[in-house]
Amino acid sequence: MSKILVIDDERAIRRALREILEFEEYEVEEAENGKEGLDKAKSGSYDIIFCDIKMPELDGMEVLDGLLAEKIDSPVIMISGHGNIETAVQAIKKGAFDFIEKPLDLNRILVTIRNAKDKTVLIEEKKVLKKTVKSFKGSSIIGETDGIIQIKEMIEKVAPSDARVLVTGENGTGKELVARSLHDNSERKEMPFIEVNCAAIPSELIESELFGHEKGAFTSAVKQKKGKFELASGGTLFLDEIGDMSASAQAKVLRALQENVIQRVGGEKDIKVNARIVAATNKDLRKEIEAGNFREDLYHRLAVILMHVPSLNDRRDDIPILAEHFMTLVCAEHGIARKSFDTKALDELQKTNWTGNIRELRNIVERLIILSGSVITESDVKAFSNPRS
C-alpha cells in the first residue's frame, strides 16, 4: 500500500484529501504545518508528498527546499489556493513534481498521483540499475591472492594523490580496471575518465587523437577537434599500451607532462591542461629504452608509481572467485537463470594455462554458460574450454 504525506495548515483540506486517498486505498499521514511536515518526511518514508504553499512555521517553498537538501526522492505535489503561473513555475523549477490549485479536483489529484507513482518506480529502477552497473562494470577488483591484495592496498594509498602511475602486466590481466579504480577512488572521480589505446591508433593519427587539431591542419580536418588531453582535463587520462606510441608523439606527451600545456595539430596556441596520467603497457619499457624505441625521460615522468598486475597463471587461487563473478555477470547480461560450477569443474579451470588471462577466463565462462547444462561439470570444461584442441 502506497504511503502519502499531506502537509497543510487547513484541517478541512487535510480531511478532504484523506477521504479521497483512503477511498483509493492509500495510507495517509498528516502534518498541520511546514515544520512538522518536514520532520515527518525526514524520519519516515513516503511514496508521495502533498504540500501547501501558504503555511505557518515554514511555507511550502521552504519545505520543498528542505526536502531537496535532505535528498528525499518522494515526488512533491504543491497545492495552493493562491496559485498563479509564476508560483507554479517556481515550484516546478525548484523540483516539485506538479502544482495543483485549490479547490482540489478529484480527477486531477488521481491522475497526478498515478504519474507521480510512475516516476517513483523509475527512480527506484534507476537506483537498482546504478548498483548493478557498479557491481558488474565498476571498479571493484576481484581476488584474494597476495598479488591482488597488494594491488588493492596500493590503489588505496595512491588514488587520493595526483601521482602518475605506470601499470604493467600481460594482455588481459586487468590493467584498465586498475586505472579505473585509481580514478574512481580519487578526488577526480566526478570528472571524465578518458582512455586512449595507443596501439590501436595509426601513428599518423595519434597526435591528433591526443592533442586535437585545428580546422585545415590536414586534408580530413574539416573542423576543429579537441584531443584527449583536453577532454580529460580535471579528470584522468589513461594511456593504454603506451609502449607502442610513436617517437614524435612521445616527445609531445613529455612536454605536456612537464609543462601541463599542449598544442593542437596545426595550431600555435598553448592550451593549459590538468589531467592525471595513468599509463599501461605489456612491454618491458626498460628493454624498449635500450633498443631506442622509448624515451627514458618520458619513462621517468610516467613511472612515479609502478604497479604490476600479476598474470592469471600467477594467481590461480583466485580462479574460483573470478569464475563465480563472471557467472553472475554473464547470466545477468543474457537474461538467463544462474548456473553453477561443480568442484571438479573449478579444479579443471585452475589447471588451465591462461595465456589470455582474465579476458580469456571471462570468454570461456560465457561459452560454458551457453553450451552447458544447469551445472557446469569437469567434462564440460574439458570439452568447451579449449576449442583449438
> What secondary structure, in 3-state letters, does 61-112 show?
HHHHHHHHHCCCCCCEEEEECCCCHHHHHHHHHHCCCEEEECCCCHHHHHHH
Packing angle, helices 343-351 and 319-334, rounded to 10? 110
b/e code 77-116 from CB counts within 10 Å (16+ = b): bbbbeebeeebbebbeeeebbbbbbbeeeeeebeebbeeb
Q: Give the tens place of pLDDT for each residue, 15-37.
A: 999 999 999 889 999 999 999 99
Calculate mean pLDDT across residues 229-245: 94
Residue identified by cell 537506483 is 127
* pTM score, whole prediction: 0.64
Q: Which three cell numbers stand for residue 253?
A: 606527451
Residue 92 pLDDT exceeds 70: yes
The secondary structure of residue 349, as a DSSP letter, is H
Based on C-alpha coordinates, what's the Rg of the chain? 29
Can you read off the three cell numbers belonging to residue 389? 584442441
> 3-131 and 146-310: same fold?
yes
DSSP state of 310: P
Cβ-proximal residues to 89 (8 Å cutoff; 6+ apart), any chain: none
User: What pLDDT is recorded for position 386?
Assistant: 65
pLDDT at 254: 94
Element (H, E) at 48: strand 48-52
Q: In this predicted structure, what is the pLDDT of residue 124?
A: 65
Give yes or no for a contact between 369 and 336, defined as CB atoms under 8 angstroms apart: yes
Decide if pLDDT at 255 tops 70: yes
Closest Cα to residue 385, out of 357, 364, 355?
364
At 282-327, the pLDDT tens digits run: 999 999 999 999 999 999 999 999 999 999 999 999 999 999 999 9
Place of cell 607502442: 244
Of 117-121, 133-137, 153-157, where does mean pLDDT reach its minimum? 133-137
The candidate with the shortest Cα–Cα distance to 169, out of 247, 240, 244, 250, is 240
For residue 355, the model assigns a pLDDT of 94
Task: From 174, 165, 163, select the one nearest 307 (Cα to Cα).
Answer: 165
| 3-class secondary-structure state, position 203 | helix
Q: Give the chain's mean pLDDT.
A: 89
- Report residue 129's pLDDT band, with 50, 70 and 90 as the boundaries: low
Strand, coil or helix: 143: coil
**CA 323 to CA 328: how far, in whole Å?**
9
User: Is the Cβ–Cβ distance between 264 and 210 less than 8 Å?
Assistant: no
Q: Can you read off the three cell numbers belonging to residue 77?
A: 505535489
Is residue 135 over pLDDT 50? no
Lowest mean pLDDT across 37-51, 114-128, 221-235, 309-323? 114-128
Q: How many CA atoms lie within 13 A of 89 on its CB side?
A: 3
Q: What's the CATH architecture for 3-131?
A: 3-Layer(aba) Sandwich (3.40)
Least confident of 143-157, 199-213, 279-293: 199-213
Letter for the amino acid at 138? G
Question: What's the CA angle centered on 184, arms 180 and 190, to 5 degrees?
Answer: 120
Q: Tens digit of pLDDT for each residue in 190-200?
A: 999 999 999 88
What's the burial of 387, exposed, middle or buried (CB within 10 Å: 0-12/13-18/19+)?
exposed
Distance (Å, whole) CA 305 – CA 239 = 15
Residues sharing a CB contact under 8 Å with residue 43, sequence separation 6 or more, in sequence order: none
Write down the H helix ranges in 138-284: 146-158, 175-184, 203-211, 228-231, 247-259
- Report the CATH number of the 146-310 domain: 3.40.50.300
**Coil, strand or helix: which one is 169?**
coil
**At the topology level of CATH, where does 313-384 sit?**
Helicase, Ruva Protein; domain 3 (1.10.8)
